Amino acid sequence: MKNEKYFSMKAIMPHRPPMLLIDRVCSYDVENQSLIAEFDIKEGSMFFDATLGGVHSWAGIEYMAQAMAALTGILGLEGRGENPKIGFILGTRKYSNEIGHYCVGKTYTVEVGALFHDDSIGSFKCEIREPDGAVCATAGINAFSPEDVEAFLLSGANG
């Protein structure tokens, strides 16, 4: 379905500038647990490297993860009326990248779909497309969102 509800990324994600990397949600499907978002590469973008004239391709994982966060934020709001929660990347599978960097002045599309998702853990298929529609990066990403983030972080410090 076309995004007619979530125009503010802050409403669906726990991220805040400068770490808010996704610029907009284009569409999402709650039933199929999928989302399409876009990000614009600007000189002021997080991770921007002037010597490259863009953002290193390794940042693709973070763009994918933030699209996942947008999707899980929408699923939480729509399904349970919950505010967006912080999540952590557990790992990736088969990250493939076909470009050296994301170029300034271009808008890229991120597509994510949940392979499995519940209240705290999920596995997602992700891809990034260039403005011409060519796939430039793909990955499977697993993520975890604890019920109590502060307690989770403190448990790591104490154990």
- Mean of the pLDDT values across residues 143-147? 91
Which tokens hold the place of 147? 């019920």
- Mean of the pLDDT values across residues 33-51? 95
Please state the pTM of the whole predicted model: 0.91
Higher pLDDT residue, 156 or 116?
116
In tens, the pLDDT along 88-117 reads 999 999 999 999 999 999 999 999 999 998
Dist. CA 46–CA 21, nearest whole Å: 7
Per-residue pLDDT band for 34 (boundaries 50, 70, 90) equals: very high
In tens, the pLDDT along 118-144 reads 878 999 999 999 999 999 999 999 999
Q: Say if domain 9-157 classifies as CATH 3.10.129.10.
A: yes
Higher pLDDT residue, 54 or 156?
54
- Mean of the pLDDT values across residues 31-50? 95
Per-residue pLDDT band for 16 (boundaries 50, 70, 90) equals: confident
pLDDT at 140: 98
**What percentage of residues in the chain have a pLDDT greater than 90?**
69
Spell out the domain ranges in the chain: 9-157
Over the chain, what HEC string results? CECCCCCCHHHHCCCCCCCCCCCEEEEEECCCCEEEEEEECCCCCCCEECCCCEEEHHHHHHHHHHHHHHHHHHHHHHHHCCCCCCCEEEEEEEEEECCCEEECCCEEEEEEEEEEECCCEEEEEEEEECCCCCEEEEEEEEEECCCCHHHHHHHHHCC
Classify burial at 94, counting beta carbons within 10 Å of its beta carbon; exposed 0-12, middle 13-18, buried 19 or more.
exposed
pLDDT at 91: 94
At residue 4, does pLDDT exceed 90? no
